[in-house]
Amino acid sequence: MSWSGGPHGAPEPGAVGLAARVRAGEVRAADVAEETLERVGRRDGELHCFNVVTADAMRSAAAAVDRLVASGADPGPLAGVPVAVKDNLCTRGVPTTCSSKMLEHWVPPYDATVVTRLVAAGALVVGKTNLDEFAMGSSTENSAFGPTRNPWDTSRVPGGSSGGSAAAVAADLAPLALGSDTGGSIRQPAALCGVVGIKPTYGLVSRYGLVAFASSLDQVGPFAATVADAALVLEVIAGHDEMDSTSLDRPVEGLLDATGSGAGGLRVGVVADFLADASADCASAVRAAAEVLAGAGAAVEEVALPELLHGLSAYYLIAPAEASSNLARYDGVRYGLRVDGDDVEQMNARTRAAGFGPEVRRRIMLGTYVLSAGYYDAYYAQAQRVRTLVARTFARAYERFDVLLAPTTPSVAFPLGAKTADPLEMYLADLFTIPSNLAGHPAMSVPFALDPQGLPVGVQVLAPALGEVAMLRAAGVLEAGAAPGARGPVASRSEAGR
Amino acid sequence: MSTGPAPAGAGRASADFEVVVGLEVHCELSTATKLFCGCPNRFGSEPNTQVCPVCLGLPGALPVLNRRAVELAVRVGRALHCEIRPSTFHRKNYFYPDMPKDFQISQYDEPIDVDGYLELPSGRRIGIERAHIEEDTGKTTHLGGGGRIHGADRSLVDYNRAGVPLVEIVSRPDMRSADEARAYVAELRAILVASGASDGRMEEGSLRVDANVSVRRTGSDAFGTRCEVKNLNSLRSLGRAIEHEQARQVALLEAGERVVQETRHWNEDEGRTSSMRSKEEANDYRYFPEPDLVPLAPDGAFVAAATAGLGLMPAERRARLATTVHGPDAAVAASTLDQITTVVDLGLDDLVVEVVERGADARLALARAANEAAQSPEDARRLDPGAFCRLLELEAGGSLSSTQAKSVLAEMLAAGGEPDAIARRLGYEALGSEALESAIDAVVAAHPDAWARYAAGEDKVAQLLTGQVMKATKGRANGKAVAAALAARRG
Ligand SMILES: [Zn+2]
């Protein structure tokens, strides 16, 4: 196991605390930036969390925050807090590659809305984090630029597709990170890296500037070492955006407060069907989590929701279908990679063959097939019916429960290469996370236990649409009741030192 | 390139066959901005200057629907007597370099406007199957290789037009001749302009027409195999292409061959269609609901607001004018129908209706509008109704001859002004009755024989006498007034 730590050995205060100290003038954002860049420089060669580190921009952002503090102006709720941004979120003037050869040299002329909001809140962007190409994968091994390694055990994957972001937080290369979650791409790597990851309600966070994988499922969300930090980021990035037609026009309030307000009276359903499909360690972590919630005054009960397990097959029809259309634009005509040919069709074909990796090609072919005349009803339309079934199953459950408790993943972090030969085996990594995407519901992973090998185990809290407050109340209690050392390597060491 | 058997003289198709035509008209909506972004919807700018991440389909960009485009689509639907329905957007997937996302956002099985009709000046109603909203593509210029994508040395794409809002209006296969198809497009264009949806400029591509043409034996109810003809850039092209296609298909059938369903390209210079035989033919568009947009459900209030101020459509204007001129339910002669159509086409019907309401002679008003005013329609639309009414009054009352009235009207159109003053200036001041009587005295004295014959009841001599009075008064007398005075004198 490998550890990282601040150069001064000081306990990390978390993003909420760090921002408070920067705003109070006790800590200079410039120093935070230098310490962060130093750690990244020391560790990232091995871990490969980042595709690019934007050191200069980070330094000037830090200087701007310090100037605001000095002038007495409000630098924002994330003042001076470093944040790592998944490399499928557009950053003006900074390459946004989606870890694909197709976009290796593409530099967006605009910022994603979430990036704009983070920067406006005083956050310091460290760089762009590695992912499975176009967010398709569960291990970050599908990156065209090489895999990210899990800081807990560098022979293992960090999960995916937001593996770079999860690993960056786990290794304390940044206290905060943004990811995107289409079928579990935030929660699954969060669980495998022992950090907190939230997939918000569909529409709560703007997708403008998120390079689309499957538009009806994609949602941007935070990674953090603590539940409170994740809630704070969500408060900053959530809210209506007129550039995204699917963005909800609802006020977002009380998320940070919810993390400390306990689970008293909360009705919690434990998804029994998921326990049967999870490893013994993952299942027992959920049972222990149920006891923690019960002990905090929640009413906990097992519930059978077998229909949710059908979500996986529906997802692997709907997501590729949308992806086949979303990724059509990478044709060599306007931007990104171009491989010339004798005519436009040959140029298109050569460009796409050279630019996309095998998993992306597989999903484009699958999605194209699914939407084809003659197959649409049997596949795409049928998958939409299953999607409705999943939503109805959740709706029935949420008549009785405020939140559901489930494993995030079927297993802990697996070794690099263990599942690359068998795509279906890899797809199963998202079995428990997919239903929330299909329903558009929020869900999050909270680090809760360690397995006998010392690898982190996450538990998942699911909630109905816009049920973030109840979800964060449960998550706050679970965090407090988690096994010592279950979250983030840095936090575990500092706790051990207390 | 297959062109099929060359028809012997386009348009001279066998009388045993009739042509069946349905039209798909793409109309650019005259919004200030594009359909899904804030870029200007403007024709003729420098290439690739009216673009942004959204209309260039950059990674991460998302569409946001232009409310005004929906309002205009609702207005078009209302003007075409369509039902306005909840609708959804779909993606139409195919690869083409001028389409930034390699899919087009369009409405597929749930269009906003369904099941309406358009009434031609002839009174025939052409069914409208649907009208839906979609985005335009960019514009590709192929250099070398005959200007087609295959064989071109290079292709240049201008994305200024990409994302411009369109409505596609799909007629039912209700037209039975090239003339009727032309009349349909002319009428549709007038409706689109009248509803404020379009500038109607075919030559700038604001209106683009594809024709579905088939033929069948006269009296048959079944439709023949149709061909879709593209590249029809004017009403003239449309008519010629339909006539050519009709003749080509009839020739095939008469030769015992069959018509192949395909898309054909109209070549204006060669005057014939040719098979496009492109890979597009085999396209499977893989439509599916556009996940980046929410369903569109215009409620009653939205429709009411969108259609507020929607004036009369041409057919309604023609009906109103016919009623104004002839009263309700009267049969209208073909020549009058032409006058009515002209007056409505030129936007002069409001003027005619107003002066008739003020008491002007309706037929005279229609005739002066359709014939003289129509010569300079822009000036005519600026005519002061009060002045026009007075002119008609002077003519009808005999104070001005029709020749004089036309001259005064020409002056009014050119420079404005009051008809009485213009008539005075032109020396058309009607003769006072004393002056007229003394002129008649002189003529009677000079032509006693003629007068005697007239007085004896030989009416046709009146013409000669009137002519002499006109001559004596240098045209200032009014013919009708002279005739009346002669008749009165005869007793
Ligand atoms: Zn634009």
Domains of chain A: 14-308+387-496 (3.90.1300.10)
Q: How wide is the angle at C-alpha A415 spanned by C-alphas A409 and A416, nearest 5°?
A: 110
Distance (Å) from CA B411 to ligand 1 centroid = 49
B471 and B391 both lie in a single domain: no
Report how far residue A406's alpha carbon sits from residue A36's, in angstroms, rounded to the nearest whole number. 34
B63 and B122 both lie in a single domain: yes
Task: Report the range of poorest mean pLDDT among A225-234, B300-309, B420-429.
Answer: B420-429
B363 and B417 both lie in a single domain: yes
The stretch A460-489 carries a mean pLDDT of 93
Return the CATH number at B485. 1.10.10
Report how far residue B17's alpha carbon sits from residue A441's, in angstroms, rounded to the nearest whole number. 62
**Which among A327, A333, A336 is positioned nearest to A95, based on CA atoms?**
A336
Q: Which domain holds residue B420?
A: 314-425
B59 with A103: Cβ contact below 8 A? yes
Report how far residue A392's alpha carbon sits from residue A397's, in angstroms, rounded to the nearest whole number. 9
pLDDT band at B431 (very low <50, low <70, confident <90, very high): low
Cis peptide before A60 (omega within 30 of 0): no
Report how far residue A242's alpha carbon sits from residue A237's, in angstroms, rounded to the nearest whole number. 14
Q: Does residue B1 surpass a pLDDT of 50?
A: no
Residue B292 lies in a domain: no
Residue B1 lies in a domain: no
The interface pTM score, or ipTM, of the predicted complex is 0.94
Which residue in the set A103, A216, A372 is minimally distant from B284, CB to CB?
A372
Query: What local confidence, expressed as pLDDT, does residue B293 receive?
Result: 98
The stretch B22-34 carries a mean pLDDT of 97
Residue B454 lies in a domain: yes
Beta bridge partners of residue B262, listed in sequence order:
B227
Q: How wide is the angle at C-alpha B135 spanned by C-alphas B85 and A211, nearest 5°?
A: 105
Query: What local confidence, expressed as pLDDT, does residue B484 receive?
Result: 83
The stretch A27-48 carries a mean pLDDT of 97
User: Of A213, A331, A347, which to mutate for an interface test with B (greatest number of B Cβ within 10 Å)?
Assistant: A331
Query: Minimal Cα distance from A106: which residue of B?
Result: B59
Task: Report the range of poorest mean pLDDT among A121-125, A218-222, B273-277, B356-360.
Answer: B273-277
Model confidence pLDDT, tens digit, residues A414-463: 999 999 999 888 999 999 999 999 999 999 999 999 999 999 999 999 99
Domain count, chain B: 3
Query: What local confidence, expressed as pLDDT, does residue A13 receive?
Result: 58
B146 and B41 both lie in a single domain: yes
Distance (Å) from CA A122 to ligand 1 centroid = 30
Which of B406, B425, B444 marks a domain boundary?
Answer: B425
The stretch A342-369 carries a mean pLDDT of 96
B165 and B83 both lie in a single domain: yes
- Chains A and B form CB pairs within 8 A to the count of 101
A381 touches chain B (CB under 8 A): no
Which of B425, B451, B472 marks a domain boundary?
Answer: B425
Which of B425, B451, B482 marks a domain boundary?
Answer: B425
Which stretches does DSSP call E strand in A1-156? Answer: 50-53, 82-86, 124-129
CA B205, B207, B208, B210: dihedral to nearest 10 degrees?
-170
Residue B298 lies in a domain: no
Residue matched to tokens 């972590």: A285
CA B295, B297, B303, B304: dihedral to nearest 10 degrees?
-140
Q: How wide is the angle at C-alpha A267 spanned by C-alphas A266 and A272, nearest 5°?
A: 135
**pLDDT above 70 covers what percent of chain B?**
93
Q: Does residue B221 surpass a pLDDT of 60?
A: yes
Active site residues of A: 86, 161, 185
**Collapsing DSSP states into helix, strand and coil, what is residue A76?**
coil
Query: What local confidence, expressed as pLDDT, does residue B327 receive?
Result: 79
Between A207 and B442, residue with greater pLDDT: A207
Model confidence pLDDT, tens digit, residues A63-117: 999 999 999 999 999 999 999 999 999 999 999 999 999 999 999 999 999 999 9
Model confidence pLDDT, tens digit, residues A16-31: 899 999 999 999 999 9
Report how far residue B374's alpha carbon sits from residue B68's, in angstroms, rounded to the nearest whole number. 34
Q: Does residue B3 surpass a pLDDT of 60?
A: no
B341 and B263 both lie in a single domain: no
Query: What local confidence, expressed as pLDDT, does residue A324 receive?
Result: 98
Residue B87 lies in a domain: yes
Which residue in the set A207, A246, A321 is minimally distant from B288, CB to CB?
A321
**pLDDT above 70 covers what percent of chain A?**
95
B396 and B446 both lie in a single domain: no
C-alpha torsion sign, points A485, A486, A492, A498: negative
A376 with B63: Cβ contact below 8 A? no
Q: How many CA atoms lie within 13 A of A162 on its CB side?
A: 42
**Collapsing DSSP states into helix, strand and coil, what is residue A68?**
helix
C-beta neighbour count of B489 within 10 angstroms: 15
Query: What local confidence, expressed as pLDDT, does residue B12 receive?
Result: 47
B123 and B258 both lie in a single domain: yes
B128 and B77 both lie in a single domain: yes
Q: Does residue B110 surpass a pLDDT of 50?
A: yes
Query: What local confidence, expressed as pLDDT, does residue B435 receive?
Result: 79
B42 and B90 both lie in a single domain: yes
Residue matched to tokens 């950090």: A195
A246 with B292: Cβ contact below 8 A? yes
Average pLDDT, chain A: 94
Q: Does residue B13 surpass a pLDDT of 70?
A: no
Residue B291 lies in a domain: no
B84 and B181 both lie in a single domain: yes
B272 and B394 both lie in a single domain: no
To the nearest 10 degrees (0 to 180), the angle between helices B334-345 and B314-326 is: 130
Which residue in the set B60, B100, B292 is minimally distant from A245, CB to CB?
B292
